[in-house]
Structure 1
């Protein structure tokens, strides 16, 4: 009887800790989604995307979409905190991508539009096929989980194009520090969240995301002093 009581108490404590970490994860993820605001203020002022890259924002749309589907009760139970933050991120990243679309040249607009349409079509097909042909939450989780891993990794590593630019130019002007810091913190917290109630589909991408964020912070520290912050960008957007 005592063993059963201890097991129940341990489970309750674990669930409480997981909920607390999930709330912290929502707060940090909110910070992650809001961290590009200074970048978009600069874009609004210049009326140009300059050398900023839309890749992280476009990648995050699909990432949030698949995680939103993954968190639904008919796929995985007890993941309300996954649903809430990814719903917010999904619509916010669409807004960010729309800003890039407005202030980019036609060539870049076409690329953004084609990728966005492809993502929406993919997400719609995924939901339709899984809900039509897969009939239990356990089976749906096994199918949707690996897809979530792929797109979460793509989100975390989308800044690779920016990192290459940082190394080439020895400048971090177009790699927003707050976005890199938020990526790092976000990866750590969601890894802990998934470890408390083992979920490899959350652990794997967020563990890799932590490494991605750490790499960005290291690059920022390496090239901060060589960055010419006041130098005008003469390249064609």
Structure 2
């Protein structure tokens, strides 16, 4: 029992470290967004969904909701602050349509969290409170992990990983795996089910990255070659045209 408790704590600490890196991984993306003053093809869905997951998971980890999950609250409290900053920056640089969509997602996030928190405090107690909060946290954890699926589909369609950063995919895998084991050791299905899903999705992203990581560069080179070839061909035509016009002008001058 003592060894299980130690492992439980160790995987919780490792999960906190992996979770922090996961929350910080998009800083590379946001540096690009700020530098280009555009969100390009990056999706705004993951950040509000991750914010909601952090709020609900952090709430679930509080001592009056569930026991021995203080580490869950610590990392998700930090994550909520970081994700809130990401949402603000994304909305700042997003097109009007995307800005409006993300804004409505934020409203949904705040209303959902407030509803879960108030119901759990005012209506429920004991195991009912734990189950209600745990189920809500698990559902939105799955949604958070599933939110990059649109990018996964983009990778498959374009055969390019340009908009699926490797570091983010790696952290999804490590974070999901860490909390999956933490949940197993603590016999907490509200943690190990959703994070097991996250681990599998992270593994899928890493597999896609390994398959398509070299395709973008090759595709760009091919396009450049084709465009270069077309430009060169056009140049030859223009030169011939200019030569013909010159000959025609010379012939007209001879006639004069």
Q: TM-score by structure 1 length?
A: 0.90
Query: Shift of the alpha carbon at 1:130?
Result: 1.4
Residue of structure 2 aligned with 1:144, choices 101, 108, 133: 133
The CA distance in 1 between the partners of 2:218 and 2:111, in whole Å, is: 40
Matched residue SS, 2:215? coil
- Match in the other structure for 1:7: none
User: Are the counterparts in 2 of residues 173 and 228 from structure 1 also a CA contact under 8 Å?
Assistant: no
Query: Shift of the alpha carbon at 1:135?
Result: 2.2
- Match in the other structure for 1:111: 101
- Match in the other structure for 1:166: 155
In the alignment, does 2:112 pair up with 1:125? no
Residue of structure 2 aligned with 1:210, choices 192, 199, 208: 199
- Match in the other structure for 1:198: 187
The CA distance in 1 between the partners of 2:99 and 2:148, in whole Å, is: 19
> How is 1:25-44 mapped onto 2 (pairs within 5 angstroms)?
25-44=15-34
The CA distance in 2 between the partners of 1:33 and 1:229, in whole Å, is: 31
Matched residue SS, 2:216? coil
Matched residue SS, 1:164? helix
Query: Shift of the alpha carbon at 1:229?
Result: 9.0
Q: Which has the larger share of helix?
A: 2
User: Are the counterparts in 1 of residues 183 and 191 from structure 2 also a CA contact under 8 Å?
Assistant: yes
Residue of structure 1 aligned with 2:51, choices 45, 52, 61: 61
- Match in the other structure for 1:93: 83
In the alignment, does 2:177 pair up with 1:188? yes
Gapped regions of structure 1 (runs ≥ 5): 1-10, 232-237
Query: Shift of the alpha carbon at 1:107?
Result: 1.0
Residue of structure 2 aligned with 1:177, choices 166, 175, 179: 166
The CA distance in 2 between the partners of 1:16 and 1:222, in whole Å, is: 38
User: Are the counterparts in 1 of residues 44 and 98 from structure 2 also a CA contact under 8 Å?
Assistant: no
Cα 1:30/1:128, change in 2 over 3 Å = same
Matched residue SS, 1:50? coil
What CA deviation, in whole Å up to 9, does each residue of 1:20-70 have, x standing for no partner?
Answer: 111111001001001111111111110111111112112101111110110
The CA distance in 2 between the partners of 1:228 and 1:147, in whole Å, is: 42
The CA distance in 2 between the partners of 1:125 and 1:174, in whole Å, is: 34
Aligned length: 220
What CA deviation, in whole Å up to 9, does each residue of 1:120-166 have, x standing for no partner?
Answer: 01111111111111122x21111111111110111111100001111
The CA distance in 2 between the partners of 1:162 and 1:88, in whole Å, is: 25
User: Are the counterparts in 2 of residues 101 and 112 from structure 1 also a CA contact under 8 Å?
Assistant: yes
User: Are the counterparts in 2 of residues 173 and 229 from structure 1 also a CA contact under 8 Å?
Assistant: no
Whichever of the two has the greater Rg, that structure is 2
Q: TM-score by structure 2 length?
A: 0.83
The CA distance in 2 between the partners of 1:141 and 1:163, in whole Å, is: 33
Which fold has the larger relative contact order, with Cα–Cα distance below 8 Å and residues 6 or more apart in sequence?
1
- Match in the other structure for 1:13: 3
The CA distance in 2 between the partners of 1:104 and 1:80, in whole Å, is: 36
Alignment RMSD, CA only?
1.3
Runs of 4+ in 1 over 6 A off after TM superposition: none
- Match in the other structure for 2:145: 156
